[in-house]
Amino acid sequence: MTVSETVKPSSWVCRFAPLVVPGGEVLDVACGGGRHARHFLTRGHPVVCLDRDVTGVADLALLARVEIITADLEGDGPWPLAGRTFAGIIVVNYLHRPILPLLVDALAPGGVLVYETFGQGNERFGRPRRPQYLLRPGELLDMGRGRLQVVAYEHGVAAGNSRSKVVQRLCAVNDLGTVARKDADPNPHSIDPPTGE
């Protein structure tokens, strides 16, 4: 991965960021250096940066619209966001299956989940190679089945600047419980939202 790939926000996240209600609080899970938190800050959102090592976002600590939470999501501790909900939840290049239902629970009504990480087959191209870090085909779809409206989903080989990789991507909205039409299904969302940039 090149330096520019690690600093620039994911194009998948950028594509669906406009679906998050303006001004709604966004959770960046396993935030690392905060590239996605920073993207949402520029869009006017308050953000919560969550990771076990938050040194990459230390420069954001004094900003009023930033909350930084240090937590080891794979440890024995409780879910650090119990009872809280978010207008947007972003997860990129991170997988710990026990928290997947907790992420769905943490979506506010109308909240948007944007998830992108490695899938099975990535072991051909490099790390990660271990099955616990690679999504099975359709696994992100299963995570929110019956609870979230899927806006977009992809699973396949993506060409990068330095190497190819297998990724699985999902954008889904927590609006299946709303009655927007006579058939009780929610209205569809734009798969090409305006960037607003």
Q: What does the pLDDT average to over 103-125? A: 92
Q: What is the DSSP string of 124-152?
A: GTSS--SGGGSBPTTHHHHHTTTTSEEEE
pTM: 0.89
Residues in the chain: 197
Q: What does the pLDDT average to over 26-52? A: 97
Give pLDDT, residue 181. Answer: 52
From residue 10, alpha-carbon distances to 35, 93, 105, 188 in Å are 8, 10, 24, 23
Give pLDDT, residue 133. Answer: 85
pLDDT in tens, 75-108: 988 999 999 999 999 999 999 999 999 999 999 9
The domains of the chain, with CATH numbers, are: 3-173 (3.40.50.150)
* Contact by Cβ (8 Å): 160, 1: yes
| Mean pLDDT score of the chain | 88
What CA–CA distance (Å, rounded) separates 77 from 92?
Answer: 22
pLDDT in tens, 135-193: 899 999 999 888 999 999 999 888 876 778 889 999 999 998 665 555 557 777 777 76
pLDDT > 70 fraction of the chain, expressed in percent and rounded: 89
pLDDT tier at 3, thresholds 50, 70, 90: very low
